Amino acid sequence: MEEKLWNAVRRLAPLKPRFVSVTYGAGGTTRERTHQTVKRIRDETDLKPAAHLTCVGASRAQIDEVARGYWEAGIRHIVALRGDPPQGMGKYAPYPEGYAYTSDLISGLKKIGNFEISVAAFPEKHPESQSFEEDIRVLKGKIDAGATRAITQYFFDVDLYTQFIERVRRAGITIPVVPGLIPIGNFALLKKFSAMCGATIPPWLAEEFEGLDEHPRKRDEAAIALASRQCQQLQAQGVEQFHFYTLNRADLTLAICNNIGIK
């Protein structure tokens, strides 16, 4: 996995992304590895890393220590998240003496250093939010605490993003809300993950990808075509920044970027 990761970093670096973010395992399981990867990207490449950090499975003191470590290592960008409980652990509950929600985490981070903070946003609303209004209130709370960029959960119908942006702007939110795009590297896994995170797989997509995991080349071609089309539709609406969930599949993201003129 590590080899695959560094291969992806090397292959994608020439595209000169604005930043490269490194995810944090559910339940903090990869805390040490996230930390080391972020530091190594900073030390050994020209890329600007951003470290994901969640509230799960650690007290405030422990999270503050990780954040201080980042600040001392010269890492200035954190993607602040609440996180989800590890699989099979039921509903989310704040860790004893931990940060309860992302807005609390951001307030804590800002006491440690003036980090650049990106946060998550949900075109189809977060599955635990009762309404779109609650979701926008939560997003506003994160911005009030210091976030200056939102990255969306992946989506497949571009209209979902367009409607979400209209809602966000109507609520007076002006920060960049960067669309998150996932090139489909494994349809079975995507279905499983989407059911958990509340992202819809439209029927037309299921029809196209069902059975394609048996034919990886065909699946890759379809994945590249789909994400390229999404980017082009977004570009037509004036969107200029994209966040790719590469999952270390450099080939897919490279091909998509090529298709939209980033070489």
Ligand X SMILES: Cc1cc2nc3c(=O)[nH]c(=O)nc-3n(C[C@H](O)[C@H](O)[C@H](O)COP(=O)(O)OP(=O)(O)OC[C@H]3O[C@@H](n4cnc5c(N)ncnc54)[C@H](O)[C@@H]3O)c2cc1C
Question: Where does this chain bind ligand X (CB under 6 A)?
Answer: 23-24, 26, 52, 54, 79, 81-84, 101-102, 119-120, 126, 128-129, 135, 138, 142, 151, 153, 180
CB of 210 to ligand X, least distance (A): 25
CB of 17 to ligand X, least distance (A): 15
CB of 243 to ligand X, least distance (A): 7
C-beta closer to ligand X: residue 180 or 212: 180
User: Which of 253, 248, 252, 255 is closest to 9 using CA atoms?
Assistant: 248
C-beta closer to ligand X: residue 103 or 228: 103
C-beta closer to ligand X: residue 191 or 215: 191
CB of 160 to ligand X, least distance (A): 14
- 96's tokens: 């004893």
The CA distance from 242 to 233, in Å, is 12
| CB contact at 8 A, 106 and 117 | yes
Helix, strand, or coil here: 61?
A: helix
C-beta closer to ligand X: residue 27 or 113: 27
The CA distance from 168 to 166, in Å, is 5
CB of 167 to ligand X, least distance (A): 14
C-beta closer to ligand X: residue 36 or 258: 36
Helix, strand, or coil here: 56?
A: coil
Greatest Cα pair distance in the chain:
50
| CB contact at 8 A, 235 and 260 | yes
Q: What is the CA radius of gyration of the chain?
A: 18
